[in-house]
Amino acid sequence: MDRLINIAAPPLDTEEARARREADAPHSPVASFPGETLRLDAGLVLHDLQIAYQTYGEPNAARTNAILVCHALTGDQHVANVNPVTGKPGWWETLVGPGKPIDTERFYVICANVLGGCMGTTGPSSTNPQTGRPYGLDMPLVTIRDMVNAQAMLLDHLGIERLLCVAGGSMGGMQVLQWVASYPERVVSALPIATAARHSAQNIAFHEVGRQAVMADPDWHGGHYLQFGVTPHRGLAVARMAAHITYMSDQALHRKFGRRLQDRALPTFGFDADFQVESYLRHQGESFVQRFDPNSYLYVTRAMDYFDLAAEYDGVLANAFRGSKTRFCVVSFTSDWLFPTQDSRAIVHALNASGAPVSFAEIESDKGHDAFLLDEPELSDITRGFLDSAAKTAGLPVARDR
Amino acid sequence: MTGFAWTRAQPLDETAVRTSGGRVDLVVVAEMVAPGSRVLDVGAGDGELLDLLATTRGCDARGIELSREGVNAGVARGLAVIQGDADVDLAHYPDDAFDYVILSQTLQATRRPRWVLEQMLRIGSHAIVSFPNFGHWRSRFDLVVHGRMPVTENMPIAWYETPNIHFCTIRDFVELVEVLGARMERAVALDSSGHRVRFNMPWWVWNLLGEQAVFLLTRK
């Protein structure tokens, strides 16, 4: 097995130890809610919730300029600063920062690690205060709505009553939709990108493959690997490799790698990474396991699987947005086959049916689902225009000329 | 068919005409819209009319546009525009969702003009339709004298490349309105220099002199 998938990641090396520390003592401000409980969709109650978050910019006097950014499956709260675990730039620095479309000189931008995550918000790798040991699988399953309810507690903690905008891509977009459904009066505008109102059967299937890879790794130990001082890094790496394919497009893979060989002129007639695309995927798998908790991967993928917004509203998605005054801008990408345009269109049709003001743009890109994280000038222009008009409606000062 | 009593709408101020960049048909359309109403512009282009309606009429103006470039330009201007196809997407709007549904210079490019008009009258209490008149004397001249499909300022693209697949004349349109059982509230014809055909005339004169026509329809 080791020879076939040669992923060099010794258990709990220094980087991993660093990542592990983030779960309890993150490099981020932490909001804790002693004595408060969070009632979960699973029917259980979570005590001693902790939320790790980052903020950028300053709230105005009326506290009307706050924008909540929601991160995707393997993202975190480090939107626009150097990531303390990877040392890489924030995951949405293309869009968030001073003078950027989500302008931190105008807006007060907040991003929290999701419930079930591993970067400081309560999740399976956090220490269970009742046992003093990591939760592991004792952590109750969480849903997208639970994540949003936790974020609402954070906003109360920060003294933000209304959000000028909630924005996010992929699973972040699911949270955006849930925000408007759960707290319509708290959201002035919503920017769901490359997302869907329900996770498709195909996407649940991909997630199941990933989870099975993690759970099939003997180092998973039924979810209690931390107590054994190991981590199912092989399983998680395979999960990441499979998932990574779904984030790209055939076209982009061809453009980037084609059938080119990796540092060799001829195939080796073995199972080494002959092709550049193999080498790339292995690298993606290896670097992912350095920063992400395997149990978190199980929990957060599960939360996405369970997401079906219409189900909460008698199967009619339009009912989720009925009476909402929130302005929407829905964005999809032509080559995204994980959250294809038809998913976005279904959201738009529901919004039309409910009478909500909505814009919808499909952006031409060959970069697949990942396009929402990459430098897409049209996404920048649309985001800027949408936020400018939302800010105008909310009576904020106009943007200064750039 | 008899002549139609042309009634004068509330004129827009000069700024409005200027911002419309000289497209008189857009001003004519905007003048038919009551201030503060809910409007859907089908085939919104880059959002020029939406902008005009929002800024000068205080309308809640939304648009549908087929071209990605048009949509992205409109959304970047802060307008509520969705990427969609009039021939398909109008079905997804509920009854009476808007006060006005506008089809500006787009009817001739739809695959199902009759269906589109029916949907417009279902979704909105008013429908406003503007289209190039194929019955204009110049078109007839091109056909009869030159024996060729007309190419004019309003119809600038050659027959083999034009997206305009359903041209009609003013008389044709009036007939369709009758078939649909809709009521004509107002009609304006614009001559080739963009001026209104000012007088009450029989339809055949309008059909000859009007290069473009704008109709305001309601359900009977």
In a domain, B153, yes or no: yes
Closest CA to A382 of A327, A330, A324, A325: A330
Q: Identify the pLDDT of residue A300.
A: 98
Whether residue B7 is contained in a domain is answered as no
Structural domain count of chain B: 1
Predicted local distance difference test score (pLDDT) of residue A3: 39
A358 touches chain B (CB under 8 A): yes
Pairwise CA distance, residues A310 & A300, whole Å: 20
pLDDT exceeds cutoff 90 at A53 = yes
Tell me whether residues A381 and B62 touch, CB distance under 8 A.
Answer: no
pLDDT at A402: 60
Residues of B in contact with A385 (CB under 8 A): 75-78
Q: Could you report the per-residue pLDDT of B131-174, keeping only the tens digit for each?
A: 999 889 888 988 899 999 888 777 788 889 988 889 999 999 99
Please name each of the domains of chain A with its CATH number: 14-393 (3.40.50.1820)
Mean pLDDT within A57-69: 97
Q: Is residue B191 part of a domain?
A: yes
Q: What is the CATH number of the domain that holds B106?
A: 3.40.50.150
d(CA B78, CA A5): 50
pLDDT at residue A291 greater than cutoff 80: yes
Helix axes A201-216, A233-247, angle to 10 degrees: 160
- B45 part of a folded domain: yes
Q: Is the pLDDT of residue A272 over 60?
A: yes
Per residue in A320-374, pLDDT tens?
999 889 999 999 999 999 999 999 999 999 999 898 999 999 999 999 999 999 9
**B5 inside domain:** no
Interchain contact A176–B (C-beta under 8 A): no
SS3 (DSSP) at A244: helix
Q: Decide if pLDDT at A16 tops 70.
A: no
Q: Taking 80 as the threshold, does the pLDDT of residue A15 lie above it? A: no
Higher per-residue pLDDT: A293 or B14 = A293
Residue A207 banded pLDDT, cuts 50, 70, 90? very high
Q: Would you say residue A292 has pLDDT above 90?
A: yes
Residue B2 lies in a domain: no
Token pair belonging to B131: 């289209």
Instruction: Indicate whether B9 belongs to any domain.
Output: no
Tell me the per-residue pLDDT of A304-335, one tens digit each, with 9 for 90 and over.
999 999 999 999 999 999 988 999 999 999 99
Per the CB < 8 Å rule, is B76 touching A384?
Answer: yes
Cross-chain Cβ contact A359/B75 below 8 Å:
yes
Q: Where are the beta strands (DSSP E) in B74-166?
A: 80-83, 98-104, 124-132
Mutation site, A193, A360, A379, A384, interface B, largest B CB count within 10 A: A360
Higher pLDDT, B207 or B14: B207
* Interface predicted TM-score (ipTM): 0.82
Q: Is A348 in Cβ contact with B78 (below 8 Å)?
A: no
Computed over every residue of chain A, the mean pLDDT equals 93
pLDDT of A241 reads 97
The predicted structure's pLDDT at residue A69: 98
Structural domain harbouring B28: 14-219
How high is the mean pLDDT of chain B?
Answer: 86
Tens of pLDDT along B167-216?
999 999 999 999 999 999 999 998 877 788 766 778 888 888 888 999 99
Nearest-by-CA chain A residue for B91? A349
Q: How confident is the model at residue A243 (pLDDT cuts 50, 70, 90)?
A: very high
List, as one string, the DSSP characters of A339-389: S-HHHHHHHHHHHHHHT--EEEEEEP-SSGGGGGGS--HHHHHHHHHHHHH
Q: What are the distances in angstroms from CA B107 to CA A238, B49, B117, B169? A: 53, 16, 9, 12
